Amino acid sequence: MRYKIVPPVRDREFLATAHRAVPLVPGSVEDCCIRLVDETAAPSRDVAREYLTFLQALELVAETDRGFRRRRVEVDEADLADAFERRVFGATELLDALREAGSLTVDESFDRLRGAVPRWERDRHTDWADEWRERTERLLDWSVAFDLATRDGDRYRVSDQTQNE
């Protein structure tokens, strides 16, 4: 399963704090979101819900029939880059485009991702292109946060360690 939620980029410390905020014993979505707002200063429950889903995509939390629970894994030891690329929709496509092109701006990256946006996503938003352009920028910024890419001014390129993968 690939997740399409891409919240605003934050650092690994934020992810570690958010991870610790999710209970080990499953809690409801509402309970987990309140904890994320309280412990991470996420601006709202809606944004906290995005981070909760993102933590699930990164394999830091799991959803059970009783709610969400923290997985017993240390954020520093988790392979966040691998989970991000495998489980977040658009990450693989953008990284492949960066590998192919060498470097891209946000707009050039969006042009490369445009064809992969599902029809139902296009129909869901009044201005789907703006929505997905912002999502593309967030994907690129998370790629930088996970050391998959680097940013030089307005251009992104894959980092040396991922260039040959």
Query: Does 126 lie in the same domain as 72?
Result: no
Dist. CA 91–CA 50, nearest whole Å: 17
Q: Which of 71-75, 78-82, 128-132, 140-144 has the highest mean pLDDT?
A: 140-144
pLDDT band at 81 (very low <50, low <70, confident <90, very high): very high
Query: Does 79 lie in the same domain as 1?
Result: yes
Query: Domain tally for the chain?
Result: 2
Q: Which residue has the tokens 């967030």?
A: 138
What was the pLDDT predicted at 165? 53
Q: Whole domain around residue 155: which residue ranges?
A: 90-162
Query: Which 8-state DSSP code applies to residue 4?
Result: -
What was the pLDDT predicted at 156? 98
Dist. CA 49–CA 17, nearest whole Å: 15
What was the pLDDT predicted at 26? 95
Give this prediction's pTM: 0.92
Radius of gyration of the chain, Cα coordinates, nearest whole angstrom: 16
The amino acid at residue 43 is P
Q: Which residue has the higher pLDDT, 164 or 147?
A: 147
Dist. CA 136–CA 152, nearest whole Å: 17
Query: Does 80 lie in the same domain as 156?
Result: no
Dist. CA 68–CA 162, nearest whole Å: 32
Last residue of a domain, one of 88, 113, 137: 88
Can you tell me the mean pLDDT for 62-82? 93
Last residue of a domain, one of 36, 58, 88: 88
Query: What is the pLDDT of the chain when averaged over all its residues?
Result: 93
SS3 for 40? helix
Dist. CA 104–CA 44, nearest whole Å: 32
Last residue of a domain, one of 88, 123, 149: 88
pLDDT band at 164 (very low <50, low <70, confident <90, very high): low
